[in-house]
Each structure stands twice: as structure tokens, then as C-alpha cells.
């Protein structure tokens, strides 16, 4: 057998390796097809994503193996091919890198498509960081393989990092601001947020590396650098558990006798309202003798947090209170002045 192989010319060996590569390719395609068919019957889709991720690198690896072995065989005929063989000997590292990056992307896509509790912005950011760190590690490994001192590279990178840090401190502040948003979760995509001075208010559409895109209620996109969120207070109304109702209503001084009964009726109205949160403070009380009215305060919390529903509920509540006042033959006060004319 060994003598037969020794009598085969390099070109015949290349042809034999080609046939072997085709056979391995066919077998691999058949195996992957069977695995894909079996994975289609499973409940989870993660296996489908992983199979699609590794199939292409495996096929490329087969043809790289054929090319590498063929060039080695032909070096006896063409001496210059030896240098090419030495250059491409590290190619499997890049194929492996490509395969792992595809695996990371497949897991990322699976988590983004799943209906679980994964935060999509965090998944994207974590996947990007994993890819960057892995590629950086591969670059260092390749550099060491070719004889470069990693310590020198890291030292040079440290000095360069300081220079870049000074030159791009605002950009780095925004990047780290985006990272803090992903870790602390003050808001997520789809949340309604606003600054304390309400200079920025809208719905978060995308949290990027450097900036966050917010769609205002006038439908304008606003791009906010992430570093700003570390320096200003942010409210997230979409995460509120209840909406506050605080109203001051005044009746005429002529209706002071009805004040106590009106307050009791309003308290009963709130107690029997399904939209008022029973587990939150609910107060109705006489507050002050105002210039033109006797003011009482309504302080309660609604279980309706959606703006439209809350406005509708509050409007009906105020109309019901107005009806209670009218039923007591009282009137809601408005600014008036009484002029006394002294007869002479």
C-alpha cells in the first residue's frame, strides 16, 4: 500500500484528494441535513440556529484542507509553493474565528427572536462585546504566532489608549454611558422617558453604543448622547404603578353649610370607583378659606397608567364631582368681588 502511494504522482494525489474532499462534503451535507430534520421536531429553535452557524465554516474547512494538502504535495514539483503553504497554515484559526462569531450571532438572534424575558438591547450589547473581545484575543494570538512580543503590543496599546482617551473623551463617555444604561436599566426600548425639566420627552426607540434615539410625541426623532443620562435626572412615566390625582375645587362662601356633606359624598364616590387604587392614599378634605372660594382638596391615585384611559377616567370623575356639588344646591366658585355701596 505504501509503495502504491509512493508511486502516485503529486498531480494524481491532488486529484485523489479532490475526490476525497467531494465525498466528505457530500457526507457532511447529508449529516447536517439529517440533524436539521431532527432538530425541526424539537421545541426550541436554538439547535437550528447553531446548525446554520457551523455548517458554512465546516464546509470551508473541508476545502481548505484539500487546498493545503494539495499545495504540500505540489511543493516537490513547484518549490515556490512552500512559502504559500507556510502562509496559509494559520488559516484554520481564521475559519475557527469566523465560526465562533457566527455562533455568537446565532445565539444573539435566538435570544432576540424568543419570547422570553431577554432585554434586546442588553443582548445586542453583550454579543458585540463578546465578538470584540474574541477578535482581540485572536489578533494577539496570531501576533505571538508570527513572533511579535505581546507585551510590546499591549504597552503600545496602553500608550495609544491614553492618547485616544484624551482625544475622544466625549465619545468614550457616551460609550460607557450606554454600557451603564444596559447594566442599571433606568429605561429600556419602548419606555416613555423625560428629563426633570421636560426638555427631552418621548418614547425610547433605540439604545445604541454612543447615543439613544427618542421619538417625541410630536413624532420627531431626538438623538441624545448617552453620557448626558449620567448627569441629569431621568423620569420613566411608563413604569409608574399609579397616576396621581390632585385637584383643588372651590365652592362659594354662600355654600359653606354644604361643605361637609359634599366632602362625604366625594369620599364615597372615590371609594366606590374601580379606577381608584385602594392600596394608595385617598384623601378629601377642606383646605383653605380662599379669596373667592372655600377650597377642598382631592388627593388619590388611579390604577390607570395609560395616558388616554387616565384622562378619560379623570374627566368623568370631575363631572361626577360637579354633579354632587349641584345636587347640594351649591355652585363651583369663580373669582368674584362684592361691592358694598354706603348710602349717604
The per-residue pLDDT of the chain, averaged, comes to 81
Look at residue 163 and tell me whether its pLDDT is greater than 80: no
Place of cell 484559526: 93
Tell me how far the alpha carbon of residue 150 is from its chain's centroid.
36
Instruction: Tell me the torsion sign for CA atoms 198, 202, 203, 204.
Output: negative
Lowest mean pLDDT among 3-17, 50-64, 240-254: 3-17
pLDDT tens digits, residue range 40-99? 666 666 767 777 788 888 888 888 888 888 887 777 667 666 777 777 777 888 888 888
Of 329, 198, 315, 316, give the one whose Cα is nearest residue 258: 329
- Separation of alpha carbons 56 and 166, rounded Å: 42
pLDDT band of residue 7 (cuts 50, 70, 90) is low
User: What is residue 328's DSSP assignment?
Assistant: T
Domain 188-238 fold: SH3 type barrels. (2.30.30)
Stated pTM of the model: 0.53
Look at residue 141 and tell me whether its pLDDT is greater than 90: no
Are the C-beta atoms of 301 and 243 separated by less than 8 Å? yes
Q: What count of other Cβ atoms lies within 10 Å of the Cβ of residue 178? A: 22
Phi, psi dihedrals of residue 285, rounded to the nearest 5°: -155, 150
% of the chain at pLDDT higher than 90: 27
- Separation of alpha carbons 200 and 228, rounded Å: 11
Of 48, 68, 65, give the one whose Cα is nearest residue 57: 65
Beta bridge partners of 299: 246, 283
Q: How far separated are the first and last CA of the chain, in Å rounded?
A: 142
pLDDT tens digits, residue range 175-232? 777 777 777 788 888 898 998 887 888 999 988 777 889 999 889 999 988 888 878 8
Give the CATH class of 240-327. alpha beta
Amino acid at each position: 500500500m505504501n509503495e502504491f502511494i509512493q508511486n502516485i504522482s503529486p498531480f494524481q494525489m491532488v486529484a485523489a484528494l479532490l475526490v476525497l474532499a467531494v465525498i466528505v462534503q457530500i457526507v457532511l451535507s447529508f449529516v447536517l441535513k439529517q440533524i436539521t430534520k431532527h432538530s425541526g421536531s424539537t421545541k426550541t429553535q436554538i439547535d437550528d440556529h447553531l446548525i446554520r452557524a457551523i455548517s458554512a465554516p465546516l464546509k470551508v474547512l473541508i476545502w481548505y484542507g484539500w487546498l493545503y494538502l494539495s499545495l504540500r504535495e505540489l511543493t516537490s514539483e513547484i518549490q515556490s509553493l512552500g512559502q504559500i503553504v507556510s502562509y496559509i497554515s494559520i488559516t484554520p484559526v481564521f475559519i475557527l474565528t469566523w465560526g465562533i462569531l457566527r455562533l455568537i450571532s446565532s445565539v444573539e438572534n435566538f435570544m432576540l427572536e424568543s419570547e422570553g424575558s431577554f432585554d434586546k438591547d442588553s443582548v445586542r450589547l453583550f454579543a458585540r462585546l463578546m465578538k470584540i473581545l474574541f477578535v482581540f484575543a485572536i489578533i494577539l494570538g496570531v501576533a505571538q504566532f508570527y513572533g511579535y512580543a505581546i507585551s510590546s503590543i499591549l504597552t503600545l496599546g496602553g500608550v495609544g489608549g491614553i492618547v485616544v482617551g484624551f482625544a475622544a473623551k466625549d465619545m468614550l463617555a457616551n460609550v460607557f454611558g450606554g454600557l451603564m444604561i444596559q447594566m442599571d436599566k433606568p429605561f429600556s426600548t419602548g419606555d416613555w422617558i423625560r428629563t426633570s425639566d421636560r426638555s427631552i420627552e418621548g418614547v425610547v426607540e433605540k439604545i445604541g453604543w454612543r447615543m439613544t434615539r427618542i421619538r417625541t410625541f410630536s413624532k420627531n426623532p431626538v438623538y441624545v448622547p448617552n453620557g448626558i443620562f449620567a448627569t441629569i435626572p431621568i423620569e420613566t412615566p411608563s413604569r409608574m404603578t399609579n397616576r396621581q390625582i390632585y385637584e383643588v375645587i372651590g365652592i362659594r362662601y354662600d355654600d359653606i353649610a354644604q361643605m361637609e356633606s359634599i366632602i362625604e359624598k366625594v369620599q364615597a364616590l372615590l371609594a366606590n370607583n374601580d379606577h381608584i387604587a385602594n392600596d394608595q392614599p385617598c384623601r378629601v378634605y377642606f383646605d383653605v378659606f380662599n379669596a373667592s372660594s372655600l377650597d377642598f382638596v382631592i388627593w388619590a391615585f388611579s390604577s390607570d397608567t395609560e395616558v388616554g384611559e387616565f384622562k378619560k377616567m379623570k374627566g368623568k370623575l370631575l363631572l361626577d364631582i360637579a354633579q354632587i356639588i349641584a345636587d347640594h344646591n351649591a355652585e363651583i366658585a369663580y373669582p368674584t368681588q362684592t361691592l358694598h355701596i354706603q348710602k349717604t
